[in-house]
Amino acid sequence: MQTASIGLIGVGTMGSALALNIAENGHDIALYNLDPTTIDDLIARAGELSPRLTKTLDVKALVEALKPPRAVILLVPAGKPVDLSIDALLEHLEPGDTIIDGGNSDYKDTQARTKRVEAAGFRYLGVGVSGGEDGARHGPSMMVGGSPDAWEPIRPIFEAIAAKFKGEPCVAHLGPDGAGHFVKTVHNGIEYADMQMIAEIYGLLRDAEDRSAKDIAPLFHKWNKGPLQSYLVEISANVLDAVDPETGEPMLDIIVDQAGQKGTGRWTVIEAIKMGQSASIIEAAVGARVLSSERDVRQTAGELLGSDVPEGTIFDEDDLEAALLVGRALSYSQGFRILKAASDEFSWDLKYDKIAEVWRAGCIIRSAMLDDISKAFKGDLPHGRLILSEHFADLLKANIGALRRVVAKATLAGLPVPALSSAVSWYDEIRQPRGTANMIQGQRDYFGAHGFGRLDKDGQFHGPW
């Protein structure tokens, strides 16, 4: 029975939520999962949407349940499970059918899979899906890569299920093959940086001022009503407010201080470096997660090396808010620069205003700032750099002092602010007309005769060493 408009392989947390979203938007969906009981559970709790969900027991049955031309979404863990699902589908699909990878795949894998699937006569889309379970259920932000031929037939369903910003669907076709997954990777890099800077601010209030989570929460609630308005500030306020039902203690005080990571933040940094770009704020955030996992070392080092937070260290709350705002603007700037590097390298012709628009609702980094970013990219940008737009240059000039004060005070108090301090250093580097690389060039020429340029004439020269 070919009745379903779309198929889904991978009915886990995200898959179940996306299936309900698709069903709610009027589409019948066929489902396949290695463990079929998750589909039974989903159908049992789907209520009036359950008639739109069809359980299938293997990939062949899934394909047979779909109206041609068929489209199947994969929401399986990145890596081998994606390739195995593609192998299984290729045995049963017909030319013109489309496979859509909605996981957090490495864009290079997506490029290779696009080639493989297209060579076999099928279509392929690599779609970055952001917003967690709630987003998948009620409207994710989606970043699409692939051929326009593959995208156009799928577009109506994806526009219907996407998050909306003032009525505009937060989904767009951004470029060919790996473009969507690359943009999602950089989204996650920015997500890491934002999360880390929020954690640093929380740490300053906790460790310098000895404030409880409950006492810090109202500050984040307040900030979420101003220029910092964003999903991550909102949920951080809620996390600060939460109480552990078992002990009655603040939930945050019970959670182990070791952060997990699945790799997308690290990928952003690796790709940035490969493309010759600085992602120092994102890198600091990845590094902080790595160091967080070495809990034993930190505890021994804390005992051996001691802590030196001076009594009475108090941070100005307005400075903390402004510091986070500047840090956020600078990490977005790094992220967009990496996108430009990839766009140039792969001739993707990414539209940065469009990307900012797709991120304005539904995704984890959604924030009030993204609307300003989109506007900035529509205007005239010196060197294409976000921080040089009138809006962001003004924002930085007005608030950089606060970031300096916060980083300086934290450093003097011996409290770690790796991402915030990377932000201020990057800002200072980028606005330094006469840098210090003349010394690097001198050293390189001294030990390796690598040559250098001169300010007073063209050509390559050597020093008198």
Residues serving a catalytic function are 184, 191
Phi, psi for residue 387 in degrees, rounded to 5: -70, -15
- Could you tell me which residues come within 8 angstroms of residue 13 by beta carbon, excluding any fewer than 6 positions away? 133
Instruction: Please identify which residue in 38, 188, 268, 421 interacts with ligand 6PG, judged by CB under 6 A.
Output: 188
126 in contact with ligand 6PG (CB under 6 A): no
Instruction: Please identify which residue in 5, 38, 111, 264 interacts with ligand 6PG, judged by CB under 6 A.
Output: 264
Residue 251's nearest CA partner among 217, 200, 293 is 217
- Using CB under 6 A, which of the segments 159-167, 208-216, 257-265, 354-362 binds ligand 6PG? 257-265
**Min CB(1)–ligand 6PG separation in Å:** 34
131 in contact with ligand 6PG (CB under 6 A): yes
**How is residue 242 annotated by DSSP?**
-
The residue (of 69 and 77) whose beta carbon lies closer to ligand 6PG is 77
The residue (of 62 and 232) whose beta carbon lies closer to ligand 6PG is 232
**How is residue 225 annotated by DSSP?**
T
Size of the site for ligand 6PG (CB under 6 A): 13
- Using CB under 6 A, which of the segments 29-37, 66-74, 94-102, 125-133 binds ligand 6PG? 125-133
111 in contact with ligand 6PG (CB under 6 A): no
- Could you tell me which residues come within 8 angstroms of residue 382 by beta carbon, excluding any fewer than 6 positions away? 388
- Using CB under 6 A, which of the segments 21-29, 55-63, 262-270, 330-338 binds ligand 6PG? 262-270
Residue 329's nearest CA partner among 392, 408, 398, 405 is 392
Q: How many CB atoms lie within 10 A of CB 97?
A: 22
171-175 β-sheet, strand order: 53-55, 29-32, 6-9, 71-74, 98-101, 123-130, 141-146, 171-175
Point out the residue whose Cβ comes nearest to ligand 6PG. Answer: 130
- Strands 168-169 and 164-165: what pairing? antiparallel
- Using CB under 6 A, which of the segments 37-45, 259-267, 303-311, 315-323 binds ligand 6PG? 259-267
Beta-sheet strands, E only, within 107-250 = 123-130, 141-146, 164-165, 168-169, 171-175
Structure tokens at 354: 């469009």
21 in contact with ligand 6PG (CB under 6 A): no
**Min CB(249)–ligand 6PG separation in Å:** 25
- Using CB under 6 A, which of the segments 130-138, 210-218, 239-247, 334-342 binds ligand 6PG? 130-138
Give Cα 45 to chain centroid, integer Å.
31
Structure tokens at 406: 């916060």
Structure tokens at 424: 């201020």
104 in contact with ligand 6PG (CB under 6 A): yes
Instruction: Please identify which residue in 130, 277, 343, 367 interacts with ligand 6PG, judged by CB under 6 A.
Output: 130
**Min CB(237)–ligand 6PG separation in Å:** 19
- State the Cα–Cα distance between residues 196 and 291, nearest whole angstrom: 12
Residues that bind ligand 6PG (CB under 6 A): 104, 130-132, 188, 191, 260-262, 264-265, 363-364
